[in-house]
Amino acid sequence: MFRDFDFQVIFGNLDILWDGMLITLLLTAVAIVGGILFGTVLALMRLSKYMVLSLVAGRYVDAFRSTPLILVIFWFYFAVPIVIGRPIGGLYSVLIAFTLFEAAYYCEIIRAGIQSVTRAQFSAGLALGLTNRQTMGYVILPQAFRNMVPVLLTQAIVLFQDTSLVYVVGLKDFLTAADLIAVRDNRVVELYFTAAVVYFVLCLTASLWVRKLQRKYAI
Amino acid sequence: MIKVENVSKWFGDFQVLDDCSTKVDKGEVIVICGPSGSGKSTLIKCVNGLEPFRDGTITVDGISVGDKSTDLPKLRSRIGMVFQNFELFPHMTALQNICLSQMKVLGRDRDEAEARGMKLLERVDLVEHAHKHPVQLSGGQQQRVAIARALAIDPIAMLFDEPTSALDPEMINEVLEVMVELAQEGMTMIVVTHEMGFARKVAHRVAFMDEGRIVEEAPADAFFTTPRQERTQLFLSKILQH
């Protein structure tokens, strides 16, 4: 099977592939950090005693979880320039789309994490004279994040794979870069095979690491 | 110092507290006992505002707990509380547990908080465990850290919510000893417990609760030797017969 493979096309285009990988990693990193930050806010809103806040956050999560990611990417690519009146380019629209989309998923993970910490721990914080906010910040969230590390990382792996969808707006991520070379040099099999191996190795490594962490944090 | 007047509370339709009144003077130790579900824990959680109540008033050092304008965090920072299941923060070491409120509530700096923390750990005989996490400690050790944590904010009164009921029998004494010492030093304490030996030894008064009511409250001696209410006599005969 490999007899007809021409791996020279891979080595000769490493720079293009690497640039693509940088875009993929940048997207993943921004969406993880932005998603977790915004997701935490959403989760706190969902758990708030104020009905309006929890309703708004709940609808937000429902809306994004009921929409295919590829549509969200499209939508932001075309809608954001209309809303703000000027084009912002593929990269920014995609960064926004991913962050907002991932926040909906992270919200649910973080909410479950917060609820995994017992009510009595909250009482213990309050009994020491800490305010609600301090108790959340120093007592509940640190424990919640500890409990959710494995799930958060699993979601990050899914996100890493999902970034390949940005090809629809012409952003040159890793897969798009591989695709461009494949079409240009007519080496489809080699490029797609390489892309698959790269995704597989990176995701498998991350998965094994998560499994190790899971064992470490298991109680 | 602590005054509870005609407090009633409902969980939905179920009345957990029914017209409870009692008071604790400075330096006094009162023990509250009674069967499970009688409202003892709920009552002391009302004292520092962890549980809201509908009717009646509770004042601590002249400040009304149920009043909407009361700064509850500030009030709670003057009352120490010890829980049945310790409730140490598992992501912090013993010393960090004791320093948190000193730094975030009282505004002490780290050195000052740690110095005070080590002194308190010395007092509960756990200096060598200062840098361990709660999971590495036995139940009795955890509860002693929890007492040190409650003392770290220099409270004017201490609330104990069944502090020994989650402990293995051989660990109960090490916790009770710390509590006895505290009582003898003149700490104002409300203790929910079934440890009648402790009650006899240090309590000034004992209250018996059943079905949300304080059925009987009397000086410790009188409570054990000549209980007036039939319900109290029945309860005492059950827990003291062995």
Residue-wise pLDDT for B144-176, tens only, equals 999 999 999 999 999 999 999 999 988 999 999
Size of interface A-B (CB pairs under 8 A): 60
Looking at B119-123, B209-213, B234-238, which range is the least confident one? Answer: B234-238
pLDDT beyond 90 at A146: no
Burial class, B235, CB count within 10 angstroms (exposed 0-12 / middle 13-18 / buried 19+) = buried
What is the per-residue pLDDT for A29? Answer: 94
Cα nearest neighbour of B101 on chain A: A128
Q: How many domains does chain A fold into?
A: 1
List chain B residues with CB under 8 Å of A125.
89
Radius of gyration of chain B (CA): 18
| First-last CA distance in chain A | 48
pLDDT beyond 60 at B25: yes
Asked whether the beta carbons of residue B76 and residue A127 sit closer than 8 angstroms, the reply is yes
pLDDT beyond 70 at A218: no
pLDDT band at residue A3 under the 50/70/90 scheme: low
Q: Which amino acid is at A138?
A: Y
Domain of A158, in residue numbers: 22-171
pLDDT band at residue A13 under the 50/70/90 scheme: confident
Mean pLDDT of A29-39: 94
> Beta strand B2-11 with B14-24: parallel, antiparallel or unpaired?
antiparallel
Regarding predicted confidence, which is higher, B157 or A13? B157
Which DSSP string corresponds to chain A?
Answer: -GGG--THHHHTTHHHHHHHHHHHHHHHHHHHHHHHHHHHHHHHHHT-S-HHHHHHHHHHHHHHHTS-HHHHHHHHHHHHHHHHSS--HHHHHHHHHHHHHHHHHHHHHHHHHHHTS-HHHHHHHHHTT--HHHIIIIIIHHHHHHHHHHHHHHHHHHHHHHGGGGGGGT---HHHHHHHHHHHHT-HHHHHHHHHHHHHHHHHHHHHHHHHHHHHH--
Considering only CB atoms, B50 lies closest to which of A121, A127, A130, namely A127
pLDDT band at residue A2 under the 50/70/90 scheme: low
Asked whether the beta carbons of residue A128 and residue B150 sit closer than 8 angstroms, the reply is yes
List chain A residues with CB under 8 Å of B78.
129
Asked whether the beta carbons of residue B81 and residue A127 sit closer than 8 angstroms, the reply is yes
Restricting to B residues 24-53, those with a Cβ less than 8 Å away from any Cβ of A are 45, 48, 50
Mean pLDDT of B1-22: 93
Task: Examine residue A210 and state whether it is found in any structural domain, yes or no.
Answer: no
Phi and psi torsions of B203, nearest 5°: -70, 140
Q: How many CA atoms lie within 13 A of B97 on its CB side?
A: 30
Phi and psi torsions of A161, nearest 5°: -70, -35
What's the CATH code of the domain at A50? 1.10.3720.10
Mean pLDDT of B206-231: 92
What is the per-residue pLDDT for A190? Answer: 86
Q: Which of A122, A128, A138, A147 to mutate to probe the B interface, most B CBs <10 Å?
A: A128
Mean pLDDT of A169-192: 88
Buried b (16+ CB within 10 A) or exposed e, A104-135: bbbbbbbbebbeebeeebbbbbbbbbbbeebb
Q: Which two tokens stand for residue A175?
A: 């897969």
Asked whether the beta carbons of residue B87 and residue A120 sit closer than 8 angstroms, the reply is yes
List chain B residues with CB under 8 Å of A128.
76-77, 100-101, 105, 149-150, 153
Mean pLDDT of A86-107: 89
| Residue B177 CB neighbour total at 10 angstroms | 14
Task: Examine residue A14 and state whether it is found in any structural domain, yes or no.
Answer: no
Question: Is A8 in the B-facing interface, judged by CB distances under 8 Å?
Answer: no
Asked whether the beta carbons of residue B91 and residue A143 sit closer than 8 angstroms, the reply is yes
What is the per-residue pLDDT for A219? Answer: 46
List chain A residues with CB under 8 Å of B100.
128, 130, 138
Task: Examine residue A205 and state whether it is found in any structural domain, yes or no.
Answer: no
List chain B residues with CB under 8 Å of A131.
73
How close A215 gets to chain B, by Cα (Å)?
16
Task: Examine residue A117 and state whether it is found in any structural domain, yes or no.
Answer: yes
List chain A residues with CB under 8 Å of B88.
124
pTM for the model stands at 0.83
Distances (CA, A) of A187 to A3, A8, A14, B68, B181: 14, 10, 14, 74, 83
Q: Are B89 and A139 in contact (CB under 8 A)?
A: yes
Q: Which two tokens stand for residue A101?
A: 């989309």
What is the per-residue pLDDT for B135? Answer: 93
Question: Is B108 in the A-facing interface, judged by CB distances under 8 Å?
Answer: no
pLDDT beyond 80 at B240: no
Counting residues of chain A whose pLDDT is more than 70, the rounded percentage is: 97
How close A40 gets to chain B, by Cα (Å)?
19
Task: Examine residue A177 and state whether it is found in any structural domain, yes or no.
Answer: no
> Beta strand B213-219 with B205-210: parallel, antiparallel or unpaired?
antiparallel
Q: Which two tokens stand for residue B215?
A: 């059925």
List chain A residues with CB under 8 Å of B48.
127
In the predicted model, what is the mean pLDDT of chain B? Answer: 93
Task: Examine residue A8 and state whether it is found in any structural domain, yes or no.
Answer: no
Question: Is B236 in the A-facing interface, judged by CB distances under 8 Å?
Answer: no
Question: Is B76 in the A-facing interface, judged by CB distances under 8 Å?
Answer: yes
pLDDT beyond 50 at B136: yes
Question: Is A115 in the B-facing interface, judged by CB distances under 8 Å?
Answer: no
Task: Examine residue A184 and state whether it is found in any structural domain, yes or no.
Answer: no
Cα nearest neighbour of B50 on chain A: A123
Asked whether the beta carbons of residue A130 and residue B50 sit closer than 8 angstroms, the reply is no
Cα nearest neighbour of A120 on chain B: B87
What is the per-residue pLDDT for A9? Answer: 80
Task: Examine residue A179 and state whether it is found in any structural domain, yes or no.
Answer: no
Order of strands across the sheet that contains B63-64: B14-24, B2-11, B55-60, B63-64
Looking at A102-116, B85-99, B228-242, which range is the least confident one? Answer: B228-242
pLDDT beyond 80 at B242: no
Question: Is B118 in the A-facing interface, judged by CB distances under 8 Å?
Answer: no
What is the per-residue pLDDT for A186? Answer: 86
How close A125 gets to chain B, by Cα (Å)?
8
What is the per-residue pLDDT for B239? Answer: 81
With a CB cutoff of 8 Å and minimum separation 6, the contacts of A117 are A139, A140, A143, A144, A147
